[in-house]
Amino acid sequence: MPQSATDILHSLYGYDSFRGHQAEIIETVSAGNNALVLMPTGGGKSLCYQIPSLVRDGVGVIISPLIALMQDQVDAMQQLGVKAAFLNSSLSHSEQNTIEQQLRAGQLDLLYIAPERLIQPYTLELLANCKLALFAIDEAHCVAQWGHDFRSDYLSLSLLQERFPSIPRIALTATADIRTRKEIIERLSLTDASAFISGFDRPNIRYA
C-alpha cells in the first residue's frame, strides 16, 4: 500500500506536522492538479514537490537553475534513502548514461535537471518514455523577463503543458510580486493552477 503524505513526513523527514500551506499544496499536486507556490526561503518549499513525487507513481522532475543547489538537494535526499539524481553539465558522459538508464528503468524517485537540458529534444523524448509523477519548476521567478534573475531557458518551459498535458506542474518561488506572479502564470501556462501565497512574517521575530 502506498505511503500517505503524512506517513512520509513522519518516517522520512522526522517532522510531526506540516507547516503553513504545505498540506494543501501537497494534496493538490498529489491529486494531479497544478499549483503556484510563493513561500519564503526556509518555509519548506522543497517538501511541496518532494512528497508528492514520492506519493505519486513515477519520477518527479525538478527544474532548477543552480547546479550547486541540485547537488545539495540530491545529496540530502540520498542520505534519507530516496533514489534521487541530477542531470547537468557537471556530469561525465558515462555518469549521464547511468542516470538515463536508471530513469528508463523506473529506478528514480526524483530527477533534478537544468532548464537548458530539459528543453533539448533528446531529453524530452527520454522523459516521454518514462513514468512521470510531476514537474516542479523551482525559482520560477526566473521566467520574468524584466527581473534581474531572468533565464531565457525558462521561457521554453511552457512546452511542458503542450508535451505532457496530463502531468501536474508546481511552480515555486520565494520572491515574486504580483507582476511577477502574473508573468509566471502566463509564461508557464498555469492559468488553472491553485495559488498558495504564504506570509513572510516570522512569528518568532518581534520589532520594537
**Residue 2 clears pLDDT 80, i.e. is over it:** no
Q: 207 pLDDT exceeds 90?
A: no
Q: How many CB atoms lie within 10 A of CB 201?
A: 7
Residue ranges covered by each domain of the chain? 5-197
Q: Do residues 47 and 39 make contact, with C-beta atoms less than 8 angstroms apart?
A: no
Evaluate whether 55 touches 128 at the Cβ level (below 8 Å): no
Q: Read off the C-alpha cell for 83.
A: 533514489
Alpha helix segments (H runs only) across 56-177: 67-79, 93-104, 115-118, 121-128, 159-163
Alpha-carbon span 51 to 183, nearest angstrom: 27
CA distance 46 to 50: 6
Determine phi and psi for 195, rounding to 5 degrees. Answer: -100, 135
Asked if 64 contacts 114 with a C-beta cutoff of 8 angstroms, the reply is yes
Note the pLDDT tens digit of each residue in 31-43.
Answer: 999 999 999 888 8
DSSP-derived secondary structure letter, 131: -
CB atoms within 10 A of CB 92: 8
- Residue 206: pLDDT band (50, 70, 90) is very low
The phi-psi region of residue 14 (left if phi > 0; otherwise alpha if psi is between -120 and 50; otherwise beta) is left
Q: What is the mean pLDDT of residues 83-92?
A: 93
- 6-31: pLDDT as tens digits: 999 999 999 999 999 999 999 999 99
Mean pLDDT of the region 58-66: 95
Question: Tell me: the pLDDT tens digits for 154-195?
Answer: 999 999 999 999 999 999 999 878 999 999 999 999 999 999
CA 114 to chain centre: 11
State the SS3 of 142-176: HHCCCCCCCCHHHHHHHHHHHHCCCCCEEEEECCC
Predicted pLDDT at 192: 95
5-197 carries CATH number 3.30.70.2610 = no
pLDDT band, residue 208 (cuts 50/70/90): very low
Is 61's pLDDT higher than 90? yes
Burial class (CB in 10 A: 0-12, 13-18, 19+), 11: exposed
Sequence length of the chain is 208
Binned at pLDDT 50, 70 and 90, residue 66 comes out as confident
What is the model's pTM?
0.92
Does the pLDDT value for residue 205 go beyond 50? no
Query: Which H or E run includes 113?
Result: strand 110-113
Average pLDDT, the chain: 91
Average pLDDT value for residue range 98-104: 96
